[in-house]
Amino acid sequence: MLLPLLSIPYITRILDPEGVGRVSFIDSFTYYFITIAEFGLMVYGARAVAREKNNPESLKKLVSELLVLHVISSSLALIVYLISVYLIWNEIRDFRLLYFSLSFLLVNFFACEWYFLGLEKFRIIAIRAISTRVLGLISIFLLIKGEEDYYLYYGIIVGTAIVNSIWNNILLFRELPLNFRRVNWKKHLRLTSVTYLISLVYSITLFLDNVLLGLVSTTAAVGLYAFAMKIIRTAGILLTDGLLVIFPRVITYVQQNDQENLQYTIRRSVQLIIFIAVPMSVGLFVLSDELVRIFLGESFLSASFNLRLLAILPFIRAYNIFLSKQVLIPYDKEKLFLRSLLIGSCSFVILTLFLSTLLDDRGACIAIIIAELITLLLNYFYSRKTATFLRIFDMKMLLHSFLGALLFVPVVYFIKWQLNNFLARLLFSVAAGFIIYTTFLLYVIKNEFTQFVIITLQRFVRNKWSRTS
C-alpha cells in the first residue's frame, strides 16, 4: 500500500498532467478489457476453489476447466479490444503505449489469482506483490528522467503486472498437475454469467472513469482526477484487500451454517472498516493541500479540491465491498448485487458525461461519489433482506470513531498554523491524530473493538517473540 506513496511524488515532478493523463487513459482502457476477459472468474473461481480445496481431484478438474474458459474469453475480448483501439485511436496516439497494453492483455490469458485467493494462500500473494512492486519502484527511479518518458512509466506498470501473472502460473503448474483433455468448461458458463456481469459493471467506476472523463474533457483534467483518485485508492487498499482475505472464510461459515462464527466475523469486519475509514476520510479532507503538495507537486495543486471531494470514498467503497463479498455473494445473491451495481453504474456514466462537460475533473469526482452512494443504499437494503439475522452495521462504533476523528481536527489546524513546512505539517498531524484518536477510543470511552485490536496485537507480538527466542 505504501509503495505508491514513494513513486507518486517522483512521477508528478517528472511527468506533466498531460503525460499522466495519457497513461491513466490507456491503463484504465486496458484493465477494462482484462475485466471482460476475466469472465467473472475472480469471484466465482475463488468461491469454487474454497469449496473444493479439500478434494484434490475435484480441485484439479475445476482449475483446468476454469483456465480453458479464461483462455476462450480472453480471445474474444482481444477481438473487441482491437476494434475499440481502432475506434478511439485519436485518444491514444502512441504505438508504444499500445504495445505495452497489448502485451499485458496477451499475458493475462492464463490469469489465475482466484486459485490462490480460494486456498487462502495470502503469504504467497503478499511476497509476490511486494517483490514485484519494489522492482517496479526501483525501475521508475532509474528509467524515468523527463516528460517524454511517460510511455516508460506505463511500461513499468505493465511489466510489474506481467511478472505477477507469470509468477502465478509457475506456482500453479508446479503444485497442481493439470490435464486439459476432455475439459468440460461449458458447464461453468451459466454459473459465471452473473459474476461476469458484476465484474463488467463494477469496473465501470473502477477503470472507465478516466476513459469517460477523457472523452468529454482534456487530457490534463484526466491527470488531475487520476492522481487524486490514486491517493484515495491507495489509502483504501488496506480496507478492501483486508476484506478479500476474509471472503473465503465467510463462504465456509455460510456453507456450514455456522451462524455464531459468521456473525462474529461480520461484526469485526464492520468495526474494522469504521475504525480505519472514518479517521482516514477526515484526515484526507483536512490534509488535502499538504498531501497534494508533497505527493503530486505544484503542477497538480488544483487536485487538492478533488481530494476533499473524494475523501469519503474509501469508507463508502469499503462498506460496499463488505456488503457484496461478505453478505450477498456468500449467500448466492449475486443477482441482487448486480442490480444495485447496474443502477449505480448507469447513474455514474450519465452523471460523469454531464458533470465533466461542465466541471471537468471536479464533475467526475462528484459523479463517482453520488453513484457509489446509490449503490451502497441498494446493497444495504438487499443485504438486510437476505440475512435478516445478521447485524451488518455498528452505529455505536461509528459514533465513537467520528467523535475521535473530530477531536484531532483542531489539533491539525493548530499544527498548520505553527509550521510552514508541508512535510512537517503532514507528519506531525498524522502522528498527533493517531495518538488522539486511539487514546480517546481506548482510554476515554473504552471502545471494545479498540481494546480487541490492542489485545490481538499484543498476542501476535508475544507469539512471534516466543518463536524467535
Give the model's pLDDT for residue 334.
Answer: 84
Quote the CA–CA distance of 206 and 304 in Å, as a whole number: 20
Given a contact cutoff of 8 angstroms between Cβ atoms, the answer to whether 103 and 158 are in contact is: yes
Distances (CA, A) of 307 to 176, 281, 290, 389: 45, 10, 11, 38
Quote the CA–CA distance of 336 and 334 in Å, as a whole number: 5
User: What are the DSSP calls for 61-108, one per residue?
Assistant: HHHHHHHHHHHHHHHHHHHHHHHHHHHTHHHH--HHHHHHHHHHHHHG
Name 420's Cβ contacts closer than 8 Å, sequence gap at least 6.
none
CA-based R_g, the chain, Å: 23
Quote the CA–CA distance of 368 and 77 in Å, as a whole number: 26
From first to last of the 469 residues of the chain, give the pLDDT tens digit.
667 777 878 887 888 778 878 888 888 888 888 888 888 788 788 878 888 888 888 888 888 888 888 889 899 999 999 999 988 888 788 899 999 999 999 988 888 888 888 888 888 888 888 898 899 989 999 999 888 888 999 999 899 889 988 888 888 888 887 777 777 888 887 777 777 788 788 878 877 888 888 888 888 888 888 878 888 887 777 777 777 778 778 888 888 888 899 999 899 999 999 999 999 999 999 999 998 888 877 778 888 999 999 999 999 999 998 998 888 988 888 889 999 999 999 999 999 999 999 998 899 999 999 999 999 999 999 999 998 888 999 999 999 999 999 999 999 999 999 898 998 999 999 999 999 999 999 999 999 999 998 888 888 888 877 776 6
Work out the angle at residue 226's Cα, subtended by the Cα atoms of residues 223 and 229, and round it to the nearest 5 degrees. 145
Question: Among 327, 442, 347, 452, which residue's Cα sits nearest to residue 391?
Answer: 327
C-beta neighbour count of 340 within 10 angstroms: 24
Give the model's pLDDT for residue 199.
Answer: 76
- Would you state the torsion angle of the CA atoms of residues 402, 408, 410, 414, taken in this order, to the nearest 10 degrees? -160
Give the model's pLDDT for residue 468.
Answer: 66
Question: Which secondary structure element, helix H or strand E, spans residue 371, and what is its range?
Answer: helix 361-386
Residue whose entry in the numeric block shows the C-alpha cell 477494462: 32
Distances (CA, A) of 77 to 73, 128, 242, 381: 6, 27, 30, 34
Work out the angle at residue 18's Cα, subtended by the Cα atoms of residues 16 and 24, and round it to the nearest 5 degrees. 105
In this structure, what DSSP letter does residue 360 have? T
Give the model's pLDDT for residue 427.
Answer: 92
How many residues make up the chain in this entry? Answer: 469
State the amino acid at position 449 in one-letter form. F
Residue whose entry in the numeric block shows the C-alpha cell 490507456: 26
User: In angstroms, how far is the first alpha carbon of the chain from the final one?
Assistant: 30
Give the model's pLDDT for residue 106.
Answer: 92
Give the model's pLDDT for residue 439.
Answer: 93
Given a contact cutoff of 8 angstroms between Cβ atoms, the answer to whether 176 and 320 are in contact is: no
Quote the CA–CA distance of 429 and 292 in Å, as a whole number: 15
Distances (CA, A) of 441 to 280, 406, 431, 456: 15, 12, 16, 16
- Would you state the torsion angle of the CA atoms of residues 394, 397, 399, 402, taken in this order, to the nearest 10 degrees? -120
φ, ψ of residue 297 to 5 degrees: the values are 95, 175
Give the model's pLDDT for residue 459.
Answer: 86
Quote the CA–CA distance of 290 and 176 in Å, as a whole number: 49
Give the model's pLDDT for residue 398.
Answer: 95
Question: Which secondary structure element, helix H or strand E, spans residue 391, and what is its range?
Answer: none
Name 447's Cβ contacts closer than 8 Å, sequence gap at least 6.
397, 400, 441
Domain extents for the chain?
Answer: 3-393, 400-469
Give the model's pLDDT for residue 469.
Answer: 62
State the cell numbers at 160.
510489474
